């Protein structure tokens, strides 16, 4: 993907900031990850679920450890963070927690792994 497409997607998502996180599909998540080398793909499921199946390049911080561990693992609060879980429920909760912690550029893969 070229940089123009990436910038266009970021602009569309930026305009839709009336919600806490922008829901994106996996295809748009891949574009962001390809073009932003510092973007983080975050799996908030349990370690067992992560071990069984996960998206390549993701890091695992279970939702129940998110507040405690995020500060150590994701130090730059301006980093682009793309969050997913199995169905989208835990990732929405994770977005809320990360927002409270001051993280700014948050995206939720709509429907989680069930939708990929």
* Residue-wise pLDDT tens digits, 102-115: 999 999 999 999 99
Query: Could you say which DSSP state residue 112 is in?
Result: G
| pLDDT value at 61 more than 90 | yes
Global confidence as pTM: 0.83
**If you average pLDDT over residues 12-22, what whole number do you get?**
56
Helix 3-15 vs helix 26-35: angle between axes, to the nearest 10 degrees?
A: 120
CB atoms within 10 A of CB 5: 13
Kindly state the tokens that stand for 74. Answer: 């994701």
**If you average pLDDT over residues 85-96, what whole number do you get?**
96
CA distance 88 to 110: 6
Q: Could you confirm whether 19 is annotated as catalytic? A: no
State which residues form the domain around 29. Answer: 3-115
CATH number for the domain spanning 98: value is 3.40.250.10
Query: In the chain, how many domains are there?
Result: 1
Exactly one of 83, 85, 106, 109 is catalytic; name it.
Answer: 85
CB atoms within 10 A of CB 106: 20
Contact (CB, 8 A) for 82 and 109: yes
* Residue-wise pLDDT tens digits, 31-53: 999 999 999 999 999 999 999 99
């Amino acid at each position: 993907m070229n940089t123009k497409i990436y910038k266009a997607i970021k602009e569309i998502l930026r305009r839709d900031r009336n919600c806490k996180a922008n829901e994106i599909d996996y295809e748009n998540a891949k574009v962001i990850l390809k073009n932003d080398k510092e973007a983080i793909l975050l799996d908030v499921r349990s370690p067992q679920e992560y071990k069984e199946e996960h998206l390549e390049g993701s890091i695992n911080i279970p939702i129940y450890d998110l507040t405690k561990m995020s500060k150590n693992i994701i130090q730059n609060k301006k980093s682009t963070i793309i969050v997913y879980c199995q169905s989208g429920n835990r990732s929405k909760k994770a977005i809320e927690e990360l927002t409270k912690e001051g993280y700014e550029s948050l995206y939720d893969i709509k429907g989680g792994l069930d939708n990929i």
